[in-house]
Amino acid sequence: MSLNSGQVINVLISRSTVQFKRAYYFNKIKGYIMKLHERVKHQQELLEMYSYWVDELSYHLSTPKFHEDTTIQVSDIQLRISEIKRNLFHAGIAD
């Protein structure tokens, strides 16, 4: 079976369309993967900030001030929690 020139052109156009669609979807998937990668990176940075802030609060609670006076100073804890909330707000996490 031989193809006439019109059929050959149709086959080439069809193959070209398939290649275009593959490239299009490949680029869409690649873009989605890049966005996911950025989200994961951002989440890791947030986790590091959380860890740092919790460590700071924990450090503050282990200072001599709290060893000498074992009653928890509520205002001190509230101040530290307010600082954490402020940091979360500036990081764009809390409202």
Q: Does 43 map to a domain?
A: yes
Instruction: Confirm if 23 and 31 have CB atoms less than 8 A apart.
Output: no
Q: What is the pLDDT of residues 33-89, one digit of tens each?
A: 999 999 999 888 888 888 888 888 888 778 887 777 766 677 778 888 888 888 777
- Whether residue 95 is contained in a domain is answered as no
At 35 the pLDDT is 95
pTM of the model: 0.53
Q: Which amino acid, 60? A: H
- pLDDT in the model for residue 3: 65
> How many domains is the chain built from?
1
Separation of alpha carbons 69 and 73, rounded Å: 9
pLDDT at 30: 93
> Could you tell me if 84 and 57 are in contact, meaning their C-beta atoms sit under 8 angstroms apart?
yes
Q: Residue 67: give the domain boundaries.
A: 5-90
- Within a domain: residue 71? yes
Structure confidence at residue 49 (pLDDT): 84
